[in-house]
Amino acid sequence: MSSLSLQRFWRSKPPESSSVAARSAFSGQERGKSILSISFLERYAVRLLWGVLVLGLLTGGVGLVDWLVQRPYFQIHHTVITGSLHQVDRALVLKSVQRIQGGLFTADLGVMATELRGIPWVRSVRLRRIWPDTLEVQVEEQDPVAYWGEEGLLNRQGEPFNAEYLGELPHFEGPPDRGAEMLDAWHRFNHLLHPIDHHVEEMTLTERGSWTLVLEDDTRLIMGKDGVEQRLQRLVEAWPALRQNGAIPPGSTLDLRYANGLAVRLPGTAAQGRS
């Protein structure tokens, strides 16, 4: 082999060191891919493990909480009843609370409140849990201001309710949804009558909106629908002269629906016009 052929041979043959370096680089890349794959799998496995652990804790936690709230320690051992109560039977309130099943955290307070509102004279109820075994029952009692209809009562908010009562109160009769309006009118009428030392003892409002008032001396005032307060004011202004002349004895009926006068029916007589 000539020297020229040997030179070509050596030039065409890659250096051994280059081949080794290439193989080393290739092996490094493979190891890198392998390490990368293992690292990814490890992270995925760790995340999966954490997920399983958290799910287990949550599931077990719910069961633990459920178990705890059922313990006798959290049963309702004390009931505190608050509110200014004069008509509500406290023993009946306590008995109603004890009928509801469950502990401090498991008792259905909505059902309990409904039960308590059914007690006579109870207007509203608020329930509050007090750690660890006490239930506070805040009771608002009905405050009657008038008899309503034949058997009911009317509270200070103008709401009808049913309860037994023997005290002295004015008597209202009217549509079920107009109690508040009647109560407000009663205050206004009494304010107008104050200068002549009279007040409304009975009051009727018809479905058509006509008013009839009965004073404490049984004098009946037929007011009509429109301009009721103006008519009452006109009567108050004329009252001293009418009473002085003996024109309106107690128990009379006065029809104030006339524009320029009134009609008076004396006790035991028919109605007649008066200017």
Residue 5 or 112, more confident: 112
- pLDDT (tens digit per residue) in 48-101: 545 654 555 566 555 544 555 455 546 888 999 999 999 999 999 999 998 887
Average pLDDT of the segment spanning 32-36 = 47
Structure tokens at 241: 């002269």
Cis peptide before 132 (omega within 30 of 0): yes
Architecture of domain 144-274: 3-Layer(aba) Sandwich (3.40)
Contacts 24+ apart (CB under 8 A), 176-179: 178/205, 179/148, 179/154
Which residues have a Cβ under 8 Å from the Cβ of 251 and sit 6 or more positions away? 217, 218, 219, 267
Structure tokens at 231: 């008519």
Separation between Cα atoms, residue 146 and residue 158, nearest integer Å = 9
End-to-end Cα, the chain, rounded Å: 159
- pLDDT (tens digit per residue) in 143-180: 999 999 998 999 999 999 999 999 999 999 999 999 99
pLDDT at 122 over 70: yes
φ, ψ dihedrals at 148, nearest 5°:
-125, 115
Check: pTM over 0.75? Answer yes or no.
no
pLDDT at 3 over 60: no
Angle between helices 90-99 and 109-117 in degrees, nearest 10:
150
**Positive/negative CA dihedral, 105, 108, 110, 113:** negative
Separation between Cα atoms, residue 199 and residue 236, nearest integer Å = 12
Please tell me the predicted confidence (pLDDT) of residue 201: 98
Please tell me the predicted confidence (pLDDT) of residue 5: 47
Give yes or no for a contact between 256 and 271, defined as CB atoms under 8 angstroms apart.
no
Residues linked to residue 81 through DSSP beta bridges, in sequence order: 137
Domain 74-141 in CATH 3.10.20.310: yes
Which of the residue ranges 22-26, 182-186, 193-197 would you say has the lowest mean pLDDT? 22-26
pLDDT at 4 over 50: no
